[in-house]
Amino acid sequence: MEDKAFRKLRLSVLWLVYECGAITSSIMELWLPGFAEGLIAGELEGIGQITPELILTLTIFLLIPPVMAFLSLTLKNSINRWANIIAGTVFAGGALILGPVIFLAQPSAYESYVILVGIVEFVVAALILWYAWKWPRQEENKD
């Protein structure tokens, strides 16, 4: 039988891998021709004007995975399981929907990384969801 601490650690590491994908995607965008110039001009290509609300929204979405990594190590089992199921579902759905939409909006040889990062993020979020869903019931009740 798998150790409870290992289960929590695995979920935590998966959240950190998801965050690495998000950061990698953001860094790779900076290398696209004209992207940095658009940022300087206050425009985010494909989205429009950069607003404080947009920055806050993007910040929240970038902070959730590392917070979930911490919570996966510290929450009680039953709360941990459900937090990971809910967040994993949201992030798997986001990776599944947003990745192809972003790529199809601006298909380019430069942006093929979007497919790779999207696949990695979807698989990682699906694993988070799977491992949280398969959390043993008897262990969940032993908080």
Q: Where are the domains of the chain?
A: 4-140
**Inter-axis angle of helices 77-105 and 113-133, to 10 degrees?**
160
pLDDT score at 38:
85
pLDDT score at 96:
67
Question: Burial letters for 18-45: b for 16+ Cβ neighbours within 10 Å, e otherwise?
Answer: bbebbeebeebbeeeeebeeeeeeeebe
pLDDT score at 117:
85
Instruction: Count, in order, helices (H) and strands (E) of the chain.
Output: 6, 2
Q: Please state the pTM of the whole predicted model.
A: 0.84
Which has the minimum average pLDDT: 5-9, 28-32, 69-73, 99-103?
99-103
pLDDT score at 14:
97
pLDDT band (50, 70, 90) for residue 53: very high
**Inter-axis angle of helices 52-74 and 4-30, to 10 degrees?**
160
Is the pLDDT at 134 greater than 70? The verdict is yes
